Chains A and B, each alone.
Chain A
């Protein structure tokens, strides 16, 4: 599971105490709605949704945030780390304000998906996994998004765009602040 976003230059928070209190409070406020979905003695099952929530609140998942999630679910921090580093949707380093993810698998590339990936790299001036200098957009080539009949497809911040053309892509990019 590679395609890690660009490395963080700054130091990442390691301890829960280093995290902004208001963000921790927002995370804690969102947890009960996730926990009620699982049996009371199986809190650890909420790890994936908890990390989705944490990423939404903190922007990415540095060690301190992993530890926070693990603490709240009553498991060692390594349990959060193994999840945060295994799944491609989690970011353990900061990414741009927007994440643009283009599928280049077979069905998409037969419909021009790879051409659009090249177009994106050129337009944004970044390589795969790179972030624009202004921190606006991180670009990633991703695997099949389940939009094969309506190819090519791309995700922008979890919103799916299908039946893309280079012109449509330019229009979408233009709308990202």
Chain B
């Protein structure tokens, strides 16, 4: 089944225009959706077993049913705040096939009786924001969205791009809504969940870009066909992003349950140095690290959960055995310290401690007690915060220290990094990438 391309099918054409999309059968699914009952569309998405591609893997159709029946207005937020280290997939949907996303948004809004939608895109994605603005303008001019839907249905739909301004936390759904309301991105307490109390206090559905880009295909081919591509609980294909020490980094569209080892060694050609894979972060920097001997696993959400980690955003970071694990973890810890919003004490205070202790160990000033303290501090952050950033900061620390403990001890005993100036490994140069079949 690995030959089915849903999301990247049109990318190699490098034609994001409305005319190109329509010539390839685009907006037919919207037409079909408008002839269906809205509940029937939701039902097909439920049958498809589409799970959220932003990281949590929550069943999309089920999330949609959480909306209270009688409260209006309802809103849709499309999460394009792609900021989890290693993750670089949604941006290409925006660049190469923005109308697929817009069609997904239009169908979703029709199915859920939503008349106002915002695409929240991270501020650094200026080019992608421009691509979306241009595509939305085309769709408006063609009458596909706006006062009528799909050129005919009496259904007003306004879709706008809202640019962030540099804050990882705004990818967290409740912080995203705060930011969209014009505030700093402080996550909200849950419950109530956004489907009940969301943007401006109204019921709100928040879905990832890749998630919604699947919706036209599901409507066109039926939920069962999408479900058949995956496992009994998880349907379709996914955009796996591979970076780090591989010969061909890139974005690979594969069935949701594709094998991680096969992706790294076959599709990406293994390590450029020819050295063994030492560590793999399978789903963005928040996901617990796997050792090189643990990667013969399915990347499906539940399968990676069973393997003690998570599939997250599908962002695979590969490190060969020339990379210093303390250096890598220290950089990850710096990220979370930098991006902690400061609302909850354990995260605000704990993340800089983790970074400082890791830097100390990397530079040969660490003690055995410091190594144990890492685990202790991480344990005091996890589960103690309003949002998942605390857990996201703790999980890499706990897993790196557990799986590569000897590397940490070597730094303490040797009073320094055994790799010296080569802590980032021996393959420190850019490589040609394969992004949905496009060489770049």
Contacts and interface: CB of A to CB of B under 8 A. Distances in A.
Interface of A: 1-3, 37-39, 42, 44-49, 51-52, 73, 75, 79, 82-83, 86-90, 104-107, 109-112, 114-115, 142-152, 155, 158-160, 162-165
B80 to A, nearest CB: 10
Given A149-B435, A165-B430, A105 B163 contact: no
Contacts of A88: 165-167
Nearest to A46: B182
Contact of B430 (A42, A51, A90, A163): A163
Contacts of B328: 106
B183 A146 contact: no
Contact of B87 (A86, A142, A146, A155): A146
Contact of A48 (B182, B243, B427, B431): B182
B335 A110 contact: no
Contacts of B122: 146
A109 B242 contact: no
Contacts of B184: 82-83, 86-87
A149 B127 contact: no
Contacts of A47: 182-183
Contacts of B429: 111-112, 165
A52 B166 CA distance: 11
Interface residues of B, number: 64
Contacts of A152: 430
A106 B124 contact: no
Given A110-B323, A150-B433, A51 B244 contact: no
A3 B281 CA distance: 27
B125 interface: yes
A147 B332 CA distance: 16
A173 B250 CA distance: 27
A48 B87 contact: no
Contacts of B125: 146
B182 A86 contact: no
B138 interface: no
8 contacts: A44-B182, A47-B182, A106-B281, A111-B429, A144-B168, A146-B88, A146-B124, A163-B433
Contacts of B332: 106
A1 B331 CA distance: 16
Contact of A83 (B84, B160, B183, B317): B183
B309 to A, nearest CB: 16
B402 to A, nearest CB: 19
B312 interface: no
Given A87-B123, A151-B243, A143 B331 contact: no
Contacts of B244: 106-107, 110-111
A78 to B, nearest CB: 11
Interface in B339-391: 339, 341-342
A164 B244 CA distance: 14
A149 B323 CA distance: 18
Can you list the 4 inter-chain pairs with the closest CB atoms, starting with the nearest? A47-B182, A87-B165, A86-B184, A88-B166
A148 B166 contact: no
A48 B164 contact: yes
A175 B348 CA distance: 40
B10 interface: no
Interface in B406-440: 424-425, 427-433, 435, 440
A51 B431 contact: no
A138 B296 CA distance: 45
Interface in B249-303: 249-251, 281, 285
